[in-house]
């Protein structure tokens, strides 16, 4: 890539990637915790996919029982730190806070949860739970992301032997490799991995199931398998020039940023990001914060159809990102490297199958935008080459089909949860799936005919 | 135009707000600064016998992140010599002739000693004398303060030693650490006091430090009871003030004390019979500057309510004070929730369910659980109204038509005695009252 944006000073990087929501001091946590009304059967608890008893954990912070607060949180959610820092709280717990109905600022639930969980990790993870007696059953977990870790932790408490297989050198999945550093850090994700290990789970890193170890081998070792592999296959644009040097995949780009080795991540002076989901927002915002001079988000529909959350959009706008709505890329142009992107204007037609208005190219509206780097963020799919190795596994619309309560797949020895069953949701959804799947697995294994 | 001036037992001040005898009135510097800020009067920190203080002196009750719901202290009377205090009182009075300057006194229980002390106080030109019979710590162990206030006979005897010689008004400050505050009040009246100040501080141990296991505040590892004041004591003080104000034998002006922090608190004391009010803890928390809102808030309220003088306000709420036996048994209310205001915290539901009469249901409405009162089962206890965090969301609606009223005392004259459950049940059934 030519036209690499100049590197920033270490201080500038630190400033640009400083936490957007810094931790509470003890005093500010107490003030905020005391503001909580301690609702009964609270709307915030119902809005959380893991149903953390939020008003109870906040009350415990207020009384100075922070250890008990952490226990209340972890009882419902093993990925509590990442969720506290990266959850879209405005559309979940904090969006449901009753203070909204009183036209007042909702309780900062995410930051209070972080306060309790920071305390827990900062105090050496004191034991909170007693595992059930050993069952003698063994479960293999494919993928050490939030779904897999959550499932592993719960299975350990249920008395099972658990091995997690993770392809990367550091487990944690997208918690480790896919969240912007101004939201959370790899270091925090690793704390959650350590928590799961402390409960007894074995984690095999750099172990890609299907190549480093086969499905058959797993079936020989384990009584049941949980699949929490997420979505590993980036969608393609299927346009000319897509494989030119200087065209990147958003998740790979974001993963490099999570390592915090910022000077090693090259960005062009002019960056175009294709797509308008929350990952695209991470890509534009991180590009800008790495020093790109001009960052554009290109989206074929309008702002109304944009999948990114409102607060993510606002963050990118405040970083000076340009939004090109109703614009679709036709081809990426360049002689051995990206030089420009040719686009067409779009208009919105009738609603499509998903109910969103379908974009239609405006004839004769083609134009070029000079760019040095293109980041593709148009979604991810399941890795079909992996799933094809599992016999009798039913997949529909690119998602693994599971029983809604047990999370069992069409192959009874396999259970699944997280992005590979929902098409890509939040960390907290994966955490909820993994925990519930653990109970599905446990109940299935306890039937005499199984296991 | 609102007139806030008062005369309490002959002690006049331009507004009813006096600083209580306490740390804020320790010196001429402080009292002059307070008068500068607008305080109407000051009861000087009690002067008398030689004392020596210890540290730490204060303990606080904080609640839900709010500081100083209550404050206790183990500070003694003034630890400065009598001469210094008297000189400063004289200087202050000379500088501030329109403000009430009151000398608070406490000396050993000896007639001659009291006579000397009173004469010296009068010589300062002060407007009145307050007898400190309330201090619950330190001085009481030496036979002064609460040790006098708790025994009506002592109270009467020593007050008499003062009134028989004093040419200026004498207020007796009463301790709340008694079974019935009216007895020492009556003793003070008998001895010729011109007014009563109440309440002094309440005996308390503020708490235990859960790290050191020492009581709070700790004086080098030891501690004990102190005198409790601040917002938490206000309801106790209001009750005692109303007891004194409604007592037929006493009939003395009252200087109300106990947790007064705002003009609202002050008005409540005045409505229950106080003439002046004394403030300490709120000043110790925020400084003399609070006088601005105290005076302004009270004036605005009086204008709004069309009162021109505090004489029109004083004691107005005493008419409504009554014993339980005189309350209307047939007055019936029910809780009603304004669902447009409800924020769905469900605190009313859980309060009613666990602690009252299980008559607020959670009903699924538009995707959330809506608390709804089964009015036929509501006993009208008002707990839900109190826990609701939204103003005027829950109201207590009158259900009886107001045509019938009967009190317990009246009912007992009607029903055969000794009373049986059966007789009471049939009275209730006749009036549609179903206790379930």
Instruction: For B328-339, write each residue's pLDDT tens digit.
Output: 999 999 999 999
Between helices B234-245 and B182-190, what is the axis angle to 10°? 50
Subunit contact B64:A62, Cβ cutoff 8 A: yes
Subunit contact A102:B64, Cβ cutoff 8 A: no
Residues B295, B382, single domain; the answer is no
* Residue B122 φ/ψ, nearest 5 degrees: -60, -35
B87 lies within 8 A of chain A by CB: no
Spatial separation of the C-alpha atoms in residues A345 and B112, rounded to whole Å = 105
Subunit contact B346:A38, Cβ cutoff 8 A: no
The position carrying tokens 């960056």 is: A271
Q: Which residues of chain A have pLDDT under 50?
A: none
**DSSP states of B27-86:** SHHHHHHHHHHT-SEEEPPPEES-----S--EEEEEETTEEEEEEEE---S--S-HHHHH
Residues B203, B299, single domain; the answer is yes
- Which residue out of B211, B343, B368 would a mutagenesis test of the A interface target, given it has the greatest number of A Cβ atoms within 10 Å? B343
Q: What pLDDT does residue A451 have? A: 58
Among B276, B292, B318, the domain boundary falls at B318
User: Taking CB atoms and an 8 Å cutoff, what residues of chain A touch B346?
Assistant: 39-42
CB within 8 A of B335, min separation 6: which ones? Answer: B348, B360, B373, B375, B378, B380, B382, B384, B385, B394, B395, B396, B397
CA distance, residue A100 to nearest chain B CA (Å): 8
Among B286, B318, B350, the domain boundary falls at B318
Residues B16, B37, single domain; the answer is yes
Counted domains in chain B: 2
Q: What pLDDT does residue B318 have? A: 97
User: Taking CB atoms and an 8 Å cutoff, what residues of chain A touch B349?
Assistant: 40-41
Confidence label for B176 from pLDDT (cuts 50, 70 and 90): very high
Subunit contact B347:A98, Cβ cutoff 8 A: no
Query: Over the range B170-180, which residues count as b (16 or more CB within 10 Å of their CB) and which as e?
Result: bbbbbbbbbee
By C-alpha distance, the chain A residue nearest B63 is A34
Alpha-carbon torsion (A277, A281, A287, A288), positive or negative: positive
Whether B348 is covered by a domain: the verdict is yes
Spatial separation of the C-alpha atoms in residues A316 and A311, rounded to whole Å = 9
Subunit contact A98:B345, Cβ cutoff 8 A: yes
Active-site residue, selected from the candidate residues B8, B135, B342, B388: B135
CA distance, residue A59 to nearest chain B CA (Å): 10
Q: Residue B274: exposed, middle, or buried by beta-carbon count in 10 A (0-12, 13-18, 19+)? A: buried
Q: Name the 3-class secondary structure at B363.
A: strand
B345 lies within 8 A of chain A by CB: yes
Whether B381 is covered by a domain: the verdict is yes
Subunit contact A37:B347, Cβ cutoff 8 A: yes
Residues B256, B334, single domain; the answer is no
Residues B330, B310, single domain; the answer is no
User: Taking CB atoms and an 8 Å cutoff, what residues of chain B touch A34?
Assistant: 64-66
Spatial separation of the C-alpha atoms in residues B130 and B120, rounded to whole Å = 14
Residues B219, B104, single domain; the answer is yes
Residues B89, B179, single domain; the answer is yes
Active site residue B384: no
- Mean pLDDT over the full length of chain B: 96
CB of B31 closer than 8 Å to CB of B25? yes
Whether B187 is covered by a domain: the verdict is yes
Q: What pLDDT does residue B227 have? A: 94
Host H or E run for residue A289: helix A278-289
CA distance, residue A421 to nearest chain B CA (Å): 26
* Lowest model confidence (mean pLDDT) among B132-146, B162-176, B312-326: B132-146
User: Taking CB atoms and an 8 Å cutoff, what residues of chain B touch A43?
Assistant: 344, 368
Structural tokens at position A239: 């346009």
Residues B252, B189, single domain; the answer is yes
User: Taking CB atoms and an 8 Å cutoff, what residues of chain B touch A37?
Assistant: 345, 347, 389
B343 lies within 8 A of chain A by CB: yes
Residues B49, B124, single domain; the answer is yes
CB within 8 A of A182, min separation 6: which ones? Answer: A16, A17, A18, A19, A20, A289
Write the CATH number for B385.
3.30.70.20
Alpha-carbon dihedral A174, A178, A184, A186, rounded to 10 degrees: 70
Whether B92 is covered by a domain: the verdict is yes
- Tell me what the mean pLDDT of segment B95-100 comes to: 98
Write the CATH number for B223.
3.20.20.70
C-alpha distances (whole Å) from B231 to each of A179, B66, B237, B270 are 49, 11, 10, 16
Nearest C-alpha neighbor of B318 from the set B277, B266, B276, B274:
B274
Residue A8 is classified by DSSP as: P
CA distance, residue B353 to nearest chain A CA (Å): 11
Name the residue range of residue B28's domain.
Answer: 6-318
C-alpha distances (whole Å) from B422 to each of B379, B428, B429 are 20, 10, 10
Confidence label for B137 from pLDDT (cuts 50, 70 and 90): confident
Per-window interface: B 44-73 vs A, CB < 8 A: 64-66
CB of B45 closer than 8 Å to CB of B52? no
The 10s digit of each residue's pLDDT in B257-274 is 999 999 999 999 999 999
Nearest C-alpha neighbor of B336 from the set B401, B396, B400:
B396
Nearest by CB: B344 against A31, A33, A98: A98
Residues B232, B142, single domain; the answer is yes
Locate all alpha helices (DSSP H) within B246-369, ordered by sequence. 263-271, 281-286, 291-304, 347-355
Nearest C-alpha neighbor of A173 from the set A202, A149, A141, A200:
A149
The 10s digit of each residue's pLDDT in A170-221 is 999 999 999 999 999 999 999 999 999 999 999 999 999 999 999 999 999 9
CA A121-A126-A131 angle, 5° bins: 120
Residues B392, B290, single domain; the answer is no
Among B261, B292, B318, the domain boundary falls at B318
Whether B1 is covered by a domain: the verdict is no
Residues B419, B391, single domain; the answer is yes
The position carrying tokens 């000794």 is: B418
The count of C-alpha atoms lying within 13 angstroms of the C-alpha of B395, restricted to the half-sphere facing its C-beta, is: 7
Write down all domains in chain A, each with its CATH number in brackets. 19-122 (1.10.1060.10), 138-232+382-445 (3.50.50.60), 234-379 (3.50.50.60)
Write the ipTM: 0.88
By C-alpha distance, the chain A residue nearest B210 is A64
User: Taking CB atoms and an 8 Å cutoff, what residues of chain B touch A39?
Assistant: 344-347
Q: What pLDDT does residue A360 have? A: 94
């Amino acid at each position: 890539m030519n036209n690499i944006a100049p590197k920033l000073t270490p201080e500038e990087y630190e400033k640009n990637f400083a936490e957007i929501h810094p931790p509470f001091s003890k005093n500010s946590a107490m003030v905020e915790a005391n503001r909580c009304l301690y609702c009964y059967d609270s709307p915030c608890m119902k809005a959380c996919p893991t149903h953390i008893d939020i008003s109870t954990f906040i009350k415990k912070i207020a009384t100075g029982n922070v250890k008990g607060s952490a226990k209340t949180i972890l009882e419902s959610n093993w990925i509590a730190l990442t969720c506290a820092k990266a959850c879209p709280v405005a559309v979940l717990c904090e969006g449901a806070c009753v203070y909204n109905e009183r036209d007042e600022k909702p309780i900062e639930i995410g930051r209070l949860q972080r306060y309790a969980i920071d305390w827990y990790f900062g105090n050496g993870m004191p034991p909170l739970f007693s595992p059930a007696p050993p069952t003698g059953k063994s479960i293999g977990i494919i993928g050490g992301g939030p779904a897999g870790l959550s499932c592993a932790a719960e299975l350990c408490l249920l008395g099972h032997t658990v091995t997690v297989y993770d392809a990367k050198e550091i487990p944690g999945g997208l918690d480790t490799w896919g969240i912007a550093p101004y939201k959370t850090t790899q270091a925090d994700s690793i704390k959650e991995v350590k928590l799961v290990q402390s409960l007894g789970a074995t984690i095999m890193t750099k172990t890609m199931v299907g190549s480093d170890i086969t499905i058959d081998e797993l079936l020989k070792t384990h009584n049941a398998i949980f699949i929490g592999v997420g979505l590993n296959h980036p969608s393609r644009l299927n346009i000319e020039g897509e494989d030119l040097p200087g065209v990147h995949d958003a998740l790979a780009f974001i993963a490099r940023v999570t390592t915090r080795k910022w000077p090693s991540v090259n960005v062009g002076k002019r960056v175009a990001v294709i797509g308008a989901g929350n990952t695209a927002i991470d890509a534009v915002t991180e590009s800008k914060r790495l020093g790109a001079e001009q960052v554009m988000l290109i989206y074929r529909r309008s702002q109304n159809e944009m999948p990114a959350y409102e607060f993510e959009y606002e963050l990118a706008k405040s970083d000076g990102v340009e939004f090109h709505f109703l614009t679709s890329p036709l081809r990426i142009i360049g002689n051995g490297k990206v030089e420009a992107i040719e686009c067409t204007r779009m208009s919105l037609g009738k609603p499509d199958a998903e109910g969103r208005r379908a974009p239609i190219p405006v004839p004769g509206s083609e134009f070029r935008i000079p760019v040095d780097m293109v980041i593709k963020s148009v979604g991810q799919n399941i890795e079909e080459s992996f799933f094809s190795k599992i016999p009798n596994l039913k997949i529909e619309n690119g998602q693994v089909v599971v029983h809604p309560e047990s999370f069992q797949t069409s192959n009874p020895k396999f259970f699944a949860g997280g992005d590979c069953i929902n098409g890509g949701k939040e960390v907290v959804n994966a955490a909820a799936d993994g925990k519930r799947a653990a109970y599905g697995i446990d109940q299935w294994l306890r039937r005499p005919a199984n296991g | 135009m609102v007139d806030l001036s008062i005369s309490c037992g002959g002690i006049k001040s331009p507004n009813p707000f006096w600083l209580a005898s306490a740390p804020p009135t320790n010196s001429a510097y402080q009292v002059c600064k307070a008068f500068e800020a607008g305080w109407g009067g000051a009861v000087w920190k009690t002067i008398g016998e030689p004392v020596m203080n210890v540290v730490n002196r204060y303990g606080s009750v904080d609640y839900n992140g709010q500081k100083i719901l209550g404050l206790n202290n183990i500070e003694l009377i003034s630890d400065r010599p009598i001469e210094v205090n008297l000189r400063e009182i004289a200087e202050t009075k000379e500088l501030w002739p329109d403000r009430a300057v009151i000398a608070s006194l406490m000396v050993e229980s000896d007639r001659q000693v009291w006579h000397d002390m009173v004469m010296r106080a009068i010589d300062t030109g002060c407007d009145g004398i307050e007898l400190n019979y309330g201090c619950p710590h330190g001085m009481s162990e030496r036979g002064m303060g609460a040790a006098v206030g708790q025994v009506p006979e002592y109270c009467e005897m020593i007050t008499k030693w003062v009134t028989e010689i004093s040419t200026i008004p004498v207020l007796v400050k009463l301790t709340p650490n008694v079974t019935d505050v009216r007895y020492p009040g009556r003793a003070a009246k008998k001895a010729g006091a011109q007014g009563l100040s109440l309440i002094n501080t309440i005996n308390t141990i503020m708490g235990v430090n859960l790290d050191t296991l020492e009581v709070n505040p700790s004086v080098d590892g030891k501690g004990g009871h102190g005198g409790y004041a601040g917002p938490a004591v206000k309801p106790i003080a209001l009750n005692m003030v109303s007891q004194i104000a409604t007592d037929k034998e006493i009939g003395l002006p009252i200087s109300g004390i106990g947790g007064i922090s705002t003009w609202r608190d002050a008005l409540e004391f005045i409505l229950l019979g106080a003439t002046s009010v004394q403030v300490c803890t709120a000043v110790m928390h925020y400084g003399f500057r609070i006088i601005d809102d105290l005076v302004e808030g009270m004036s605005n309220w009086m204008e709004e309510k069309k009162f021109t003088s505090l004489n029109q306000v004083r004691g107005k709420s005493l008419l409504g004070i009554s014993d339980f036996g005189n309350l209307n048994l047939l007055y019936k209310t029910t809780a009603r929730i304004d669902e447009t205001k409800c924020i769905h915290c469900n605190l009313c539901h859980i309060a009613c369910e666990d602690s009252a009469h299980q008559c607020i249901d959670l009903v699924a409405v538009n995707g959330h659980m809506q608390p709804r009162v089964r009015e036929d089962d509501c006993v009208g206890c008002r707990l839900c109204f109190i826990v609701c965090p939204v103003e005027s969301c829950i109201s207590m609606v009158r259900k009886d038509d107001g045509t019938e009223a009967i009190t317990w005392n009246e009912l007992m004259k009607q029903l055969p005695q000794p009373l049986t459950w059966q007789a009471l049940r049939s009275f209730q059934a006749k009036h549609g009252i179903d206790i379930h």
